Amino acid sequence: MAVAELPQPTRRRRLRRSDPSSAGFARRRCGKGFMYLDEQGGRITDPEIVARIAGLVIPPAWRLVWVSPDPFGHIQATGFDEAGRKQYLYHPRWRERRDQQKFDDMVRFARALPGLRAVVDHDLALGDLSREQVLACAARLLDRGFFRIGSEQYAVTNETYGLATMLKSHVVVRGETLAFDYIAKESKRRVQAIVDPEIAALMTTLKRRRGGGPELLAYKRDGHWCDVRSPDINAYLKAATSLDVSAKDFRTWGATVLAAVALAVTQPEHLS
């Protein structure tokens, strides 16, 4: 008796690294819609390729659109939004992989938080306006306020600020409360208050210092004031945790905690 041949499982094709600087498909206006050109400039008419590109749902407002010719490229498309920022569309499997990596990173970050907070508590108690004490102050603020770290370049060109670039004029200390009011990323005003007597006392001293520039965070070295930079804060976090963490992880952690709390307090309409 002949045995029916079982179908072999289809092997999943592996993703490959895309290079948006290499030749790819381009988008051009065509009537009320768009057409796409191949690497040689010819119009793409293959229904399968056209359907794949349509499935990417590339925003119409994007300019200088590049589309990966490889359906298994990890980056599927790039373009520049209305603000001139380069944006990316990733392969769904790449996004899944990155999401899993972010989850694993958050688990490691959560386990490292108690140790990091202990280091911060120790360094804050130094009371000498040293690099360690002021960077510990920055870490405490990240932990409690989920600030963006900021970019020195954006502070100069866009006058938008984060924790590392904030000015003394951006915070008012009232007793144990710190009131922050500044222009953040995308020119959005951010106002928030943090209650922390230890940080409030240190901030009062930093705001009243006579030396240095207008920046809020600065430390003393050999009698001179040195401004805190974003790499300084990230280096402190890495050294304190022995992990590849950065200021951005605090914002991801904060969003994770808020989402967990929201789920915990949400009551289902019907219990089965």
- Examine the pLDDT at 112 and tell me if it is beyond 90: yes
Q: Please tell me the total number of residues recorded for the chain in this structure.
A: 272
25-90 against 99-258: fold identical? no
For 167-182, the pLDDT digits (tens) are 999 999 999 999 999 9
pLDDT-based confidence at 45, cuts 50/70/90?
Answer: very high
pLDDT at residue 253, rounded to an integer: 87
| Structural domain spans, the chain | 25-90, 99-258
Q: If pLDDT is split at 50, 70 and 90, which confidence band does 1 have?
A: very low
Q: Percentage of the chain surpassing pLDDT 70? A: 93
CATH number of 25-90, picked from 2.160.10.10, 3.30.66.10, 3.20.10.10, 3.20.20.150: 3.30.66.10
pLDDT at 140 over 60: yes
What average pLDDT does the chain have?
A: 90
Does residue 183 register a pLDDT over 70?
A: yes
Provide the pLDDT for residue 267. Answer: 60
Instruction: State the fold for domain 99-258.
Output: Topoisomerase I; Chain A, domain 3 (3.90.15)
Average the pLDDT over 158-168 and give the result: 95
Supply the pLDDT for residue 12: 67
pLDDT reported for residue 269: 57
Burial of 240 (0-12, 13-18, 19+ CB in 10 A): buried
Q: Would the CA dihedral through 184, 188, 189, 195 be positive or negative?
A: negative
DSSP for 193-228 reads EEE-HHHHHHHHHHHH-SSS-SBS-EEEETTEEEE-
